[in-house]
Amino acid sequence: MTRYRVTLEHTLYLVAFLLALCLRLLNLGAIPLSDGEAELALQALEVAKGGQATFGPQPAETALTALTFTLGGSSNFMARLWPALAGSLLIILPFLFRQPLGRRAALVLAFALALDPGLVAVSRQANGPILAVCFTLLAAGLAYNRFDWGAGIAAGLALLSGASFWPGVLGLGLAWGMSWLLGLSPAHEDETGEVDGFSPGSWDQGRVKKLVFGTLATVLLAGTLFLRAPQGVSAWLAGLPMYLSGWGGPSTVPALRLLAALPVYQPLALLFALVGIVRGWLYRERWAVFLSLWLLISLILAVIYPARQIDDLVWVLIPLWALAALALGWLLSEPFSQPVISLGLATLLFALGALIWLNLAALGQLGPAAPDIFPRVGVVAGVLALGGVTAALVGLGWSWQAARQGLVLGMLALFGVYGIASMWGVSQRHELSRVELWRPAPDSADVSLLMQTVSDLSAWDTGETNASDVTLAVDSPALRWALRDTPRLSLAPEGEQLLAIGSPSMVITPQDFVEPGLAASYRGQDFVVRTYPGWTGALPPNFTGWLVFRRAPLVEVQVILWARADLFPGGAGASSDVLQPEEFEVP
C-alpha cells in the first residue's frame, strides 16, 4: 500500500489556499451587487424557484448559483460564492505544475495568486471571468497529471463559463502553436524518453474517451442543474456569439487603461516577470518561452478587443505571475553570501521607498498645477538616484551577489506591502469617492443606504421591514435584486404616470423624473445608485492623488426615493420638497 506523507511543502500550499479563501470570503456580501452581477443573480433566483428563466451567456454561474440559492437562500454572499471558491481553487494550479516550474517557484506562484489584487477583486464579483480562468487552467493541470476524468469535468465547467472562455483558449492555443514552431513547446520527451501529460505520445484512446465523456456529462448535468432546468442545454454555446459580437461593438474602456492598470496594481509581478522573460529566452527554457508568448498574446487580445473591460486582464495575470515566480525561484535559490549586508541594503531601500511614497502623497494633495510641485518631484528623483547609487556601492565594496540579493529582498518587501494594500483596497467596502479600476463599472454606490431607508420606512408604517408596497420605476437590475424580498413590489417603465391607478407607499424614480402628483403628496430623497469613472483617458488627471488616495472624478447616477407624506408626522400637509440626506429621517 502506498503511504503518503504530509510535508512542509504540502502545508505551505494549504496555508496559501486558506489565505486565498479567507481573503475572498471576508465581507463577501457587504458590497451591493452591481447591475451585471444582479442580472445573473436574478436569473439564478428564478431558476431556483422553478421558473422558466432564460439562461444567460454564463450558464455555469447561473446554474451553480441557483443551487446555492436553493440550499442556502438568496443573498449577496451566496450570489458571489462560486466565483470566490473558483478563485481560491487557482492555488491548486501551481501544485499541479510544480515539476516543470520548480518547487520553489511553484510555491511563490501559489502565494502570489492568493494575494494578487486583480485576482482577488474578480473572484469577489458574480459576473467576472474567474470561472473560465479557473476551470480552463485546472483542466490543463489535471490533464498534465493524467487525471483525465477530473480534466473532463473541469473542461465542461470551463465551456459553461461564458464569453471569457474563448479569448483564454485562443491565447493559450496561439502561444502553444508559436512555441511549437520555435521548437520550444512545453510538451516533449525528456532525456530518458519519459513523456509528460501534454506530449502527443501520452494521449491514447482511453485518455481521450475519459476527457470527452467527462466534458459532455458535465455540460449536460451542470448546464441543466442536474436536468432541473432543461433550457440550459443550449446556453453553453451562447458565450461564443457574445464574444464575437464584442469585436463589432463600441469601445467603452480606453486601451491604454488596461496597459496602465498593470504597473499600478502589479508592479512586483511586472518587475520580476521581465527578469524571467530575459532569462528564459537567453537559456531557451521551454516553459518560460511559452509563458512569455502566452503573456504577450493575451495582453494583445485584451487590448485590441473593442468590448474590453479591466477584468479581461485576468488571462494576463496568470502567465505574468508565473514568469515572476520563475525569476524569484531562481534569484532566491542562491545562498546568501553576506546576509547582513543584503538585509541592510533591503532595509535602506524599503525606507527610501517609504520616503518616495510620502512625497507622492504630498504631490497628490498639491495637484498637478501647484507652483511648488517641482521640489517634490526633485526629491523623488533624488531618492531614486540614492537607492541606485547605494546598491552600486554595495556591489563595488562587498559583492555584486550581496547587492543583487539586497535589491531582490528590498523590492519584495516594498512592492509586496504596496500590493497587499492595493488588494485590500480593491476588495473591501470603501467610501464612494474611492475609485478602483478593478471594481465593476457601474458601481452600485448607495444601494445599501437606499434599502435601509426603505426598510426603516416600512417598519414605521407597518411594523415590518418589507411589508410596505413599493413601485420601482428605474431600469436597474441592482435595485430589482435589492428589492427581491419585497412581496408588494411593482415594476413600472421609466416615464410612466405612476399615480394613475393608486398611491403606493414608496416610489423610486430617476432623478429627472417629474410627475406633479409626486411633488404634491410625497417626500423625496436622492440616492446615488451608479457611479462611473469620470475621465476619458487611461488614468485620472491627478495621477499621484489617485495613486495614493484613489480619489478621481466620478459620474454619478441618482434616483429619488419618494415616500407618501402620510407616513410621517403631520400627514399629507407635510412639505413636498426633495430633502437632503441629513434632513430625511424616519421618526
Task: Give the span between the Cα atoms of 348 and 410, in whole angstroms.
Answer: 8
Task: Give the span between the Cα atoms of 285 and 544, in whole angstroms.
Answer: 39
Task: Give the span between the Cα atoms of 232 and 221, in whole angstroms.
Answer: 10
Task: Give the span between the Cα atoms of 205 and 365, in whole angstroms.
Answer: 66
Phi, psi for 150 (deg, rounded to 5): -60, -40
Buried b (16+ CB within 10 A) or exposed e, 245-256: ebeeeeeebbee
Per-residue pLDDT of the chain (587 residues; tens, 9 = 90+): 456 678 889 899 999 999 999 999 999 988 899 998 999 999 889 888 876 666 777 888 888 898 899 888 889 999 999 999 999 999 999 999 998 899 999 999 999 999 999 999 999 998 878 999 999 999 999 999 889 899 999 999 999 888 899 999 999 999 999 998 988 888 765 544 455 666 666 777 888 888 899 888 888 888 777 777 776 667 777 788 888 888 887 777 888 999 999 999 999 999 999 999 999 999 999 999 999 999 999 999 999 999 899 999 999 999 999 999 999 999 888 888 788 998 999 999 999 999 999 888 888 887 666 666 777 778 888 888 988 899 899 988 888 888 999 999 999 999 999 999 999 989 887 777 788 899 888 888 888 889 999 998 888 888 888 888 898 988 889 999 999 988 888 888 876 666 655 788 888 988 887 776 677 788 888 999 888 888 888 888 888 889 988 888 888 889 999 888 887 766 554 444 444 444 455 44
Contact by Cβ (8 Å): 189, 198: no
Task: Give the span between the Cα atoms of 574 and 563, in whole angstroms.
Answer: 11
Task: Give the span between the Cα atoms of 552 and 532, in whole angstroms.
Answer: 10
SS3 68: helix
Phi, psi for 586 (deg, rounded to 5): -85, 125
SS3 277: helix
Instruction: Measure Cα distances from 26 to 84, 193, 206, 350, 434 in Å.
Output: 10, 48, 43, 29, 20
Phi, psi for 491 (deg, rounded to 5): -105, 135
Report the candidate in 108, 100, 185, 180 with the shortest Cα–Cα distance to residue 144. 100
| 285: Cβ contacts below 8 Å, ≥ 6 apart | 279, 326
| 305: Cβ contacts below 8 Å, ≥ 6 apart | 167, 246, 247, 312
In this structure, are strands 578-579 and 554-564 parallel, antiparallel, or unpaired? unpaired
Contact by Cβ (8 Å): 118, 174: no
pLDDT tens, 372-397? 677 777 888 888 898 889 989 998 88
SS3 470: strand
Task: Give the span between the Cα atoms of 499 and 54, in whole angstroms.
Answer: 32
pLDDT of residue 576: 44
| 485: Cβ contacts below 8 Å, ≥ 6 apart | 466
Buried b (16+ CB within 10 A) or exposed e, 128-160: bbbbbbbbbbbbbbbbbbebbebbbbbbbbbbb
Segment (H or E) for 30? none
Question: 487: exposed, middle or buried (C-beta count within 10 Å: 0-12, 13-18, 19+)?
Answer: exposed
432 DSSP assignment: T
520 DSSP assignment: H
Task: Give the span between the Cα atoms of 168 and 302, in whole angstroms.
Answer: 10
Instruction: Measure Cα distances from 177 to 100, 184, 185 in Å.
Output: 19, 10, 8
Enter the C-alpha cell of residue 350.
524599503
pLDDT tens, 318-359? 999 999 999 999 988 888 878 899 899 999 999 999 999 988
Task: Give the span between the Cα atoms of 572 and 367, in whole angstroms.
Answer: 50
Enter the C-alpha cell of residue 199.
506530449
Report the candidate in 118, 138, 122, 116 with the shortest Cα–Cα distance to residue 83. 122
Segment (H or E) for 506? strand 506-510
Segment (H or E) for 579? strand 578-579
Q: Which residues pair with 556 in a beta bridge?
A: 531
**Residue 39: how many other CB atoms lie within 10 Å:** 20
Task: Give the span between the Cα atoms of 189 and 198, in whole angstroms.
Answer: 10
